[in-house]
Amino acid sequence: MGKQVAMVIDLNKCIGCQACTAACKSLWTDEEGQESMLWNNVETKPGPGYPRGWEEQGGGWKDGELQLGELPPDENFGGEVPLNHAAVYFEGTADRLKQEKPMGYGANWDEDTSSGEYPNNYHFYLPRLCNHCTKPACLEACPVRAIYKREQDGIVLVDEDKCQGFRLCNRACPYDKVYFNYLKNKSQKCIFCFPRVEQGVAPACARQCPGRLRFVGYLEDAGPIAKLVYEWKVALPLHPEFGTEPNVYYVPPILPPSFDEEGRFSDEPRVPMDYLRYLFGPEVDQALITIMEEMDRKKEGKPSELMDLLIARDWKSLFNIPDVRVA
């Protein structure tokens, strides 16, 4: 196996602007049959996510055995954009596609709310894309081997010429990041913008992010990715219990302190630690301690390599992806 490309997303800098979602959508999923596909999306946590309730759908690995989850119902994608496909493609009564009725909601129609009680309510934003896992459940589930992992960079792709629409990959992915194109009868998913990566250019979601919160590189190279994941250990996978060994990592959020009954700052974290452990596993405790210790060092005027990495004053420092094209 060659190198593994990876991404680290700093949740303390995400403002939920959806620039990454728009960049991905306009570049890769703007065709008929892809209306509900968001290869990249930004969720408000702790909300139900997109598709709604994906964390309870099942899939992944358990005790070394592949698990097949449930297919999310169409309504969990916010409903289809109501276009006149039948009239154009089957009935011949219209010559172009048009929207039949306006949508009443979008991808995060019921999730963009805070949790907790005032004045200690809280929320944070969680960008999601395919994790291009080291042990991809989608690949294992495909009976015709239409899904493969590239040797040169570990990107997981669907060979649509081989795909026969069994949708076992959809059921196997515990992150619900394999979508199904009903018009083509093919599964489709994030390709980590591999045509860009092969040119040494960052994926569109990372390059168009105004907050400089996405790091892209190879786990094996000396650079920000390896430092955040292996050296500082502040970048963690989402739901590691799913067993797929994701290669998208997250710097967990640190929100302002909570208030006690007298309106003074308390020692209780605003985001409940149980919820952060649910998302990122038990390692999140030490990750947050490390981040806060380094924040204090920076406030005191002391040097902090970790804070300098995360601040990323030079946007080019976010990306360490030399040309890896295969001759």
What confidence tens digit (pLDDT) does each residue in 273-309 have?
999 999 999 999 999 999 999 999 999 999 999 999 9
Strand pairing report for 319-320 and 214-218: parallel
User: Quick check: is 218 in a domain?
Assistant: yes
Range of the domain at 304: 5-320
Helices 273-280 + 284-299 axis angle, to 10: 110
User: pLDDT grade, residue 320 (50/70/90)?
Assistant: confident
Q: Residue 73: is it exposed, middle or buried by C-beta count within 10 angstroms (0-12/13-18/19+)?
A: exposed
User: Quick check: is 261 in a domain?
Assistant: yes
User: Quick check: is 327 in a domain?
Assistant: no
Instruction: Judge whether residue 326 has pLDDT over 50.
Output: no
User: Quick check: is 270 in a domain?
Assistant: yes
What confidence tens digit (pLDDT) does each residue in 119-162 have?
999 999 999 999 999 999 999 999 999 999 999 999 999 999 99
What confidence tens digit (pLDDT) does each residue in 172-182 have?
999 999 999 99
Model confidence, pTM: 0.89
User: pLDDT grade, residue 327 (50/70/90)?
Assistant: very low
Instruction: Judge whether residue 19 has pLDDT over 50.
Output: yes
User: Quick check: is 254 in a domain?
Assistant: yes
User: Quick check: is 282 in a domain?
Assistant: yes
- Per-residue CA distances from 105 to 78, 79, 81, 124, 234 (Å): 7, 8, 10, 21, 36
Q: What percent of the chain has pLDDT over 90?
A: 74
User: Quick check: is 326 in a domain?
Assistant: no
Domain total in the chain:
1
Q: What token pair was written down for 301?
A: 């005027």
Instruction: List all residues 6 or more positions away from 36 whose beta carbon is below 8 Å from its beta carbon.
Output: 74, 77, 78, 80, 81, 179
Q: Which residue has the tokens 């690949």?
A: 139
Mean pLDDT of the region 101-125: 72
The continuous run of DSSP H or E covering 248 comes out as strand 248-251
Cα–Cα distance for residue pair 314/9, rounded to 1 Å: 16
Residue 134 φ then ψ, to 5°? -70, -35
Mean pLDDT of the region 191-216: 95
Instruction: Judge whether residue 113 has pLDDT over 80.
Output: no
User: Quick check: is 48 in a domain?
Assistant: yes
Range scoring the smallest mean pLDDT among 49-58, 129-138, 183-192: 49-58
Instruction: Judge whether residue 80 has pLDDT over 60.
Output: no
- Buried b / exposed e along 120-139 (16+ C-beta atoms within 10 A): bebbbbbbbbbbbbbbbbbb
What CATH number should be reported for the domain holding residue 66?
3.30.70.20
The continuous run of DSSP H or E covering 305 comes out as helix 305-311
